[in-house]
Each structure stands twice: as C-alpha cells, then as structure tokens.
A = this chain, B = another copy of it.
C-alpha cells in the first residue's frame, strides 16, 4: 500500500506517519519510483505499536527507538530479545541505587535477601541466575527496600501467593504470544502487552478488591 493508504488504514495522520519514518520508528517502505514507496502489513503492525507506546504509554521517542531496536535484533534468541525489549521500557519504580551506598543500606540488603529467598522458593532459576542484571529485579528490590524503610516490611510468605498468580498470568501471556508465527511479531506483542496490559491488570485488581471487600464486610 502507499503512504496515504497506510495513514488511512492505521488512523494515524499522514504528518505523524512521516514523522515516525523520519525518526526511524517505522522502517522505510520498498521504493517503487523516485517519489513513491510501497508499505506492507508489517508497517501497519509497527505503526500501531509505535502509536500505543507513544500515545498510551507516554514513552519518549528515543526510548521507543531503543525498544524497537531490540524487537528487531535477530541475533538474539526469543527470551533475550523479549527481555532486552521489555527492559528498555520505562520501569515501574525507581531502580535501586547502584554501588557501595546500596550495599550499606540495611533496607536494601534485607530486600535483596528477600528477593533471593523468594526466587529460590518459586524455583525461578533463570531470574535467580540473571539476578540484578535484570531491571525488573533491581526495581523489585528497590520497591521492597522502600516498603521496608517506610515501615511496611514484607516477607517471602507475603510475596509468594502474588508471585504465583503472576506466574499463571505469564503462562496466559505466552500462550497468547505463541499464536503469532514470527519472532518479530512475538516481540512486538510482548511490548504491546507490557505497555497496554498493565493498566488492565491494575484496574482488574482494584475491581477484584472491591468485590472481595463487599463479600466480606458488606457495603
């Protein structure tokens, strides 16, 4: 399809599509003459993803470019490709301070030990091996350290049921992703699901809390 059709089918204005092309967020089309290029379904899919990240996720253009570079990195196996793409997304909490000051902070030390114990009990061997190389690991430690510091300490008994439910959610996530044929489509889906699905989960959680509260205590 031509640029105008790409704009029409995606509902993204021509000016915005051209901006995404200029910024390298959308790969160039196949040139068919001096002034025109041809775009395919993969462009339409990519355009939807870029719009989701920018408009819904509020993610800066430079970060979108970095995420997409990982999505397109065919040198990596799927787990690393997904991991690298997800890890370059903005994190949900400040990361832990790196270096010696973190090692000295008792809340941080306690949180690291707690995460390690939790991952051992869950038998999440990869997460345990990768450890704080993973931004989600660092962010989890940082959040638990903050909770500890603020006087809301948690132990691994508290966390285990939540981790188990997230494990089940991950199985559903990957079942859905498995329906897609290409590794690139799968990586795109994983990114879209991280950006767009987190608000769905959090709102379902609030509704579920309200429902359960009503069951226990009435109104």
Contacts and interface: CB of A to CB of B under 8 A. Distances in A.
A214 B79 contact: yes
Nearest to A205: B166
Task: Determine chain A's interface SS by DSSP, over half rule.
Answer: helix
Nearest to A212: B170
Contacts of A204: 140, 159, 162-163, 166
Contacts of A139: 199, 203
Interface residues of A, number: 77
Copies of the protein in its oligomer:
2
A52 B48 CA distance: 36
A198 interface: yes
A37 interface: no
B83 A126 contact: no
Nearest to A118: B204
B136 A174 contact: no
Given A86-B210, A93-B199, A165-B168, 14 more contacts: A45-B151, A51-B150, A52-B150, A77-B218, A77-B219, A79-B210, A126-B210, A140-B207, A143-B199, A162-B200, A163-B208, A167-B208, A167-B211, A194-B206
Interface of A: 11, 45, 48, 51-52, 56, 77-80, 82-83, 86, 91-93, 119, 124-127, 130, 134, 136-137, 139-140, 143-144, 146-147, 149-152, 158-159, 161-163, 165-174, 176, 178, 190, 192, 194, 196, 198-214, 216-219
